Amino acid sequence: METRHVSIEVALALHATVLQLTNGRLGVRDMGSLLGCLERPKTVLGGKEMFPTLFLKAAALTETIARNHPFVDGNKRGAHLIGRELLVLNGYDLEPKPGEIEKFMLWIVTQKPPLEEIAAWLEKNSKKI
C-alpha cells in the first residue's frame, strides 16, 4: 500500500489551528523550508527509499519541521500535529501517556536523537485505527 502524505494545505491548517488554540503567532517564516520538510519523507536515492517504514517517514517529517523552524512560531507544536497527521492518514494514531508529547518534542530538539530512535518512540506510542 502506498503511503499517503500530508499536503501543504493540511499542514498550514493544522499549524493555524494549534496557534489559535495556544495564542501563538501565525505565519510561515520560510515556505521553501516548509515544502522541503513535507517532501523529506518521500526521499528516494538510487531507487531506494531513505525512510522505508511509516514510522521512519513520520519521524523524518516531525524532526525536520521541529529543527528547521519553517514557521514564525509553534514549530514543535506544528511538527507534532503534522507528523501525527501522517500517521493518521496511514491508519495509526498516537496514544502516549499525558505529558509525553511535550517531553518527546523537547527531546527531539535538544538531544537530537537518531531518526531510528524517534521512529521507535512513535511506533511504541501508536495504535492501529
Signed CA dihedral, 6, 80, 36, 23: sign only: positive
Whether 90 is covered by a domain: the verdict is: yes
Domain assignment of residue 3, yes or no = no
> What is the domain count for the chain?
1
Examine residue 83 and state whether it is found in any structural domain, yes or no.
Answer: yes
Is residue 1 domain-resident?
Answer: no
Q: What is the spatial distance between Cα 43 and Cα 2, in angstroms, rounded to a whole number?
A: 14
Segment (H or E) for 94: strand 92-94
Over its length of 129 residues, how does the chain's per-residue pLDDT go in tens digits? 799 999 999 999 999 999 999 999 999 999 999 999 999 999 999 999 999 999 999 999 999 999 999 999 999 999 999 999 999 999 999 999 999 999 999 999 999 999 999 999 999 999 999
Which among 122, 58, 52, 43 is positioned nearest to 89, based on CA atoms? Answer: 58
CATH number of domain containing 114: 1.20.120.1870
Residue 2 lies in a domain: no
Taking CA 60 as the corner, what is the angle to CA 59 and CA 61, rounded to the nearest 5 degrees? 90
Q: Domain range holding 123?
A: 8-128
Other Cβ atoms less than 10 A from the Cβ of 38: the count is 21
Angstrom distance (rounded) from CA 126 to CA 84:
9
pTM: 0.96
